[in-house]
Amino acid sequence: MSISYWTSTLKRKRCEAQGASCSPADWIRQDEWPVGIHNMGNTCWFSAVIQSLFHLPVFRKLVLNYCLSERILEKCKSHSDKRNIAFMQELRCLFALMVGSTRRFVDPSAAVELLREAFRSTEAQQDVSEFTHKLLDWLEDAFQLAANGNSLEDKKENPMVQLFYGTFVAERTHEGKTLSNIEQFGQYPLQVNGFNNLEECLEGAMVEGEIEALHPDQTISSGSKRWFSKLPPVLTFELSRFEFNQSLGRPEKIHKKLEFPQIIYMDRYLHKNNEQTHNRREEVKQLKEQLTVLQQKLERYRNYGSGPTNYPLADMLQYMLEFACTKPTSVSPAEDARLAASSPTPPSSTPPSNAGPSDSSTCQQKPSSSQRTPIYKPFTQCRPPMDAPPHPAPHSVTEEELRFVKTCLQRWRTEMENNMNELKASIDRVSQALEGMYSDNSLCQVPYRLHAVLVHEGQASAGHYWAYIYDHSNQCWMKYNDVIVSESSWEELVKDSYGGMTNASAYCLMYIDDRLPHLIAEDTDDETGQVMQGMDSLPPILGHYVREDNRWFQQELREWEEQCYQPPQQEPAAPTAASTSTRVPSKEKDEPAEQVPKPGPAREPTGEQGQEPEAESAVEPAVESETPDTQADGEDGQDAPPATRRRQQQPENVVSEVEIPNVGRILVQADNDGYNEEMMLTPAMQGIIMAIAKARQAFDNEGPEAGLIKAFQEEYSRLFELSQEETTAQQDPRLHHALVYFFQNQAPNRVIERTLLNGFTDRNLSFDNRSISIMREARAKLRLIKPEDMDMEEYMQWHDDYSLFRTVFVYLLTGLEQYQHGKVSEALNYLNHAYKDNTMLLRRGEKRGVEQSLIALYRRRCLKEVNDNAATLFRSGEVSGVEEGVIIMNEAVIPCMHLMSRPDMVSQEDLDTMEAIRSHWCSYLEMDLDDSLQLKLGEFLPRVLDCSTERVVLKDPPTVRSKVPHDLCSRLAAIMESITNTSVVSVK
């Protein structure tokens, strides 16, 4: 689709392009604004996908730092390997230009041409899911070459697999037996037809309908269910919006509306929560059936009648009441019709002989001859008469009958209204129960945040793609439409993406694990710790490539300026699109680098930009970091984008509480400039917010102190109940909150109360007046605690113990994960530290640490494998192998045996393992070994036989990445499931 079409239909925003202008000055990137990608002809699918991946920092860093050694390059002989390597090099160059180019948009033609060769047609517009599948396959193969291995374990270490691929458990019930298998997935397909939102799509994908087969003696149901066993950090949903029309013989697009949230919790779809989710699904099924019955009952009241047209019953009773209360005219309708037919003027009427007690009042209302109703003559009058005919009214009714009818109708109408109100209240209660079925804290531990939405506009055979991508550093949505990059909003995204209104709708949704901050974290300098931005974040070879391209672009600008200042008789030649090539020219010797010149007034282009100079000058240019997803110098805001600077300069933001099913999930702050900021709260803070919500009545009736006390009691009770849950191999409630750990270990009440009270002083509670008042009340009470009232050393000791407890868990889980991946030496080091620190905790109490037998079991297994590896290298006789074997013994085996041989830590299983290792090495004394091997054996064998003869220090483990409670819970469930099922399930 042409660029001019989009620039003419879209309202211009700051830094928005006007298309591929003929002026190079219009191609200058403004203030590090994100760059666009030039459409090479039916390549908008490439731009949408590449922009979504580029603005994911973890992926961008993997691509930019991709490197193959000369040895691996020499081994790559196949066409596919060479093609993948060439594509990775072009993708690296493209990403480098998107980071540091001074151009407003870059040329992707080299990478696109490589991809087009893999598709059926070079001219047809590609399907975005087809391209994404192909792209991920090529990337996986390219990184597999870098890993220099093709085994199953090597593939699990592939960063593309770790980032984009997950696993699910497929369970099928057949003849009363449950069969299951684990399968891998990349993009997860979801059907759109028949569903209203993403949650319903997932429910439909997870549970397929049950089929009942009748047997002679019983009925056996069969069906299939899916449960995610491992979710990838980047979770991509492919929305199936195309279907084949059999009658027309062609594909058609499904324009149905489908809603999706910015945050989705995946807990209910995880295999570890299958029992809990199954029970809730049964409850949901019952509630939906109950809701259907209630809605049907209410509908009968709203549409009453046996004819083709139905009416609300309450309205019908009201109309009947109005009819019964209407006073009749003095002449019956039959008499009035007879007189009108016999005389052109109606005679004065006399009351009928059967007139009731109401005749006197009726006679007073009798119209005179001058007030009679005129007859409308359509052929002689230009408009109908102004006076309306009298309403119908009963003529034969006594006062007693009228009073009886009125009483019945009023009573029935009241009954109908009460019944309808009760039904509406019941429907509201059931609807609220349905909405809150999956919104409690136990099923809100795995949040995924929407990162990108790929939109398609058009039909199945043709259309246009663009992407909405969330800028995590500035907390705003950006729209990437080929060369046009503009700031957007959630409202605009919804309008274009939900579907149902136009022929534009979301086709692919990309969510990222909100518990993994490294996904959106930028690289930092090892020495200074500062975030590396722009050119500083590029490898040297790519930095040189971008600088050369920028120098070439500056030369184009200079040539254009010279043409603009030529005499009028010399007509300058306008540069063409071909002059924007990103091929790097040879660098001229001693040519100084120049800054990119800004177009001056003399070079102001004509057209739309020239027609609105005031509007252009009023738009403040955006300032972003060198890499678009990173805010520069966010602490002081000097180099931050204008929107960010305005936020920092405001003295106080206006904060509002958003009513959503998951209480406390998101707080929305709106500053005076109208910018919205979203903040994801921790599960502990969500519990505090839920407690404050439950204390609303106490706060409103008795004030902040009563509200704090009520909220304190609610959260105290919740955490105490959580502490009573059973600890299993797959879950440990102590990981959820420090207070659960304190409760299980009988911590002093003053420690528990101060810890909980401190939670109510968090500044993140500043989202409404009630929460602010309770926060201030909690801070006031915390200040009242005097030093003599609290033993702070004891308080800090309890918190240090809990921190050490979580550290032990991190060491244990990391060790088990390394063991599952075959890295036994690294696993042994982690398990040694876990065992040592856990022993310190267990000395203070049984519930202070982790089950020691689990650590000891896998430590012994790792020790055996590490020792076998060292022995194999030692027996090889090769100098390098022998040296490596001795190093393994000195740095891994002997320190572990030294730790195991401590009297307070040794077990019979450990003694047996150490005795087997000693016997194995002693058997070498009976062999005919070389003198050099005998010498090496004599150096470390005494230390193997008596590990206590010298002080041995354990090797420090690498720094652990995360101690977030819900992260540890997920990793624990995954690794224990992995061990139980003897299949690797990792959580990265």
DSSP secondary structure, 614-671, as one string: HHHHHSPPP---SSTTS-TTTTT-SSS-HHHHHHHHSS--EEEE---SSTTSEEEEE-
Domains in the chain: ranges and CATH: 27-165+527-559 (no CATH), 167-210+222-231+234-262+456-515 (3.90.70.10), 656-798 (no CATH), 814-982 (no CATH)
Question: Tell me, what's the pLDDT at 623?
Answer: 31
Question: Tell me, what's the pLDDT at 265?
Answer: 92
Cα atoms in the Cβ-side hemisphere of radius 13 Å centred on 728: 10
In angstroms, what CA-CA distances link 246 with 252, 254, 255, 463?
A: 10, 15, 18, 22
Residue 644 has pLDDT above 50, yes or no: no
Q: CB–CB of 735/809 below 8 Å?
A: yes
- For the segment 291-299, the average pLDDT, to the nearest whole number, is 87
- For the segment 209-231, the average pLDDT, to the nearest whole number, is 62
Cα atoms in the Cβ-side hemisphere of radius 13 Å centred on 329: 16
From the CB of residue 208, how many other CB atoms can be counted at a distance below 10 Å?
12
Question: Tell me, what's the pLDDT at 438?
Answer: 78
| C-alpha radius of gyration, the chain, whole number | 38
From the CB of residue 336, how many other CB atoms can be counted at a distance below 10 Å?
15
Residue 300 has pLDDT above 70, yes or no: yes
pLDDT band of 223, cuts 50, 70, 90: low
Question: Tell me, what's the pLDDT at 470?
Answer: 95
Q: What is the percent of the chain where pLDDT is above 90?
A: 14
Q: Which of 110-124, 176-190, 349-363 has the lowest mean pLDDT?
A: 349-363
The answer to whether the Cα torsion of 910, 916, 920, 923 is positive or negative is: positive
Q: According to the per-residue pLDDT averaged within each range, which of 336-345, 572-581, 696-705 is highest?
A: 696-705
Question: Tell me, what's the pLDDT at 490?
Answer: 94
Question: Tell me, what's the pLDDT at 552?
Answer: 83
The predicted-structure confidence for 98-154, as pLDDT tens digits, reads as follows 999 999 999 898 888 887 776 654 444 456 667 777 888 888 888 888 776 555 555
- For the segment 274-291, the average pLDDT, to the nearest whole number, is 82
CB-neighbour burial class of residue 177 (10 A; exposed 0-12, middle 13-18, buried 19+): exposed
- For the segment 166-177, the average pLDDT, to the nearest whole number, is 82
Q: CB–CB of 984/977 below 8 Å?
A: no
Residue 622 has pLDDT above 50, yes or no: no
pLDDT band of 213, cuts 50, 70, 90: very low
Exactly one of 15, 44, 947, 969 is catalytic; name it: 44
- Higher model confidence: residue 151 or residue 369? 151
Question: Tell me, what's the pLDDT at 655?
Answer: 37
The answer to whether the Cα torsion of 514, 519, 522, 525 is positive or negative is: positive
- Higher model confidence: residue 351 or residue 860? 860
Distance, in Å, from the CA atom of 797 to the CA atom of 878, rounded to the nearest integer, reads: 52
Question: Tell me, what's the pLDDT at 377?
Answer: 44
Q: Which two tokens stand for residue 955?
A: 């090797």
Distance, in Å, from the CA atom of 705 to the CA atom of 699, rounded to the nearest integer, reads: 8
Question: Tell me, what's the pLDDT at 367?
Answer: 43
- For the segment 623-640, the average pLDDT, to the nearest whole number, is 35
Q: Which residues contact 369 (CB under 8 A, 6 or more apart)?
A: 345, 346, 348
Residue 957 has pLDDT above 70, yes or no: no
Distance, in Å, from the CA atom of 350 to the CA atom of 691, rounded to the nearest integer, reads: 77
Report the run of H or E that residue 106 belongs to, with start and end: strand 105-106
Question: Tell me, what's the pLDDT at 922?
Answer: 85
Question: Tell me, what's the pLDDT at 324?
Answer: 80
In sequence order, what E strands does 241-292 have?
A: 242-245, 250-253, 263-265
The predicted-structure confidence for 873-921, as pLDDT tens digits, reads as follows 888 878 888 888 888 888 888 888 888 877 666 788 888 888 898 888 8
CB-neighbour burial class of residue 370 (10 A; exposed 0-12, middle 13-18, buried 19+): exposed
Distance, in Å, from the CA atom of 185 to the CA atom of 232, rounded to the nearest integer, reads: 9
Distance, in Å, from the CA atom of 753 to the CA atom of 761, rounded to the nearest integer, reads: 13
The predicted-structure confidence for 733-750, as pLDDT tens digits, reads as follows 888 888 999 999 999 988
Q: According to the per-residue pLDDT averaged within each range, which of 178-182, 291-295, 556-560 is highest?
A: 291-295
Model-wide pTM > 0.75? no
Distance, in Å, from the CA atom of 905 to the CA atom of 834, rounded to the nearest integer, reads: 13
Question: Tell me, what's the pLDDT at 874?
Answer: 85
Question: Is 464 labeled as catalytic in the residue annotation?
Answer: yes
Question: Tell me, what's the pLDDT at 330?
Answer: 56
The predicted-structure confidence for 379-402, as pLDDT tens digits, reads as follows 434 455 555 567 788 878 788 888
Residue 448 has pLDDT above 90, yes or no: yes
Output helix, strand, coil percentages for the chain, rounded to the nearest 5.
50, 15, 35
pLDDT band of 706, cuts 50, 70, 90: very high
By DSSP bridging, strand 234-240 and strand 187-191 are parallel
Task: Characterize 873-894 residue by residue with b for buried, 16 or more Cβ atoms within 10 angstroms of its Cβ, and e for exposed.
Answer: bbeeeeeeebebbbebbebbbb
Exactly one of 55, 464, 833, 966 is catalytic; name it: 464
Question: Tell me, what's the pLDDT at 194?
Answer: 83
Q: Which of 144-153, 240-249, 408-417 has the lowest mean pLDDT?
A: 144-153
CB-neighbour burial class of residue 316 (10 A; exposed 0-12, middle 13-18, buried 19+): middle
Residue 727 has pLDDT above 60, yes or no: yes
Task: Characterize 29-41 residue by residue with b for buried, 16 or more Cβ atoms within 10 angstroms of its Cβ, and e for exposed.
Answer: beebbbbbbbbbe
Whole-number average pLDDT of the chain: 74
Hey, is 969 helix, strand or coil? helix
- For the segment 961-987, the average pLDDT, to the nearest whole number, is 62
Angle at 162 between CA 160 and CA 164, to 5 degrees: 65
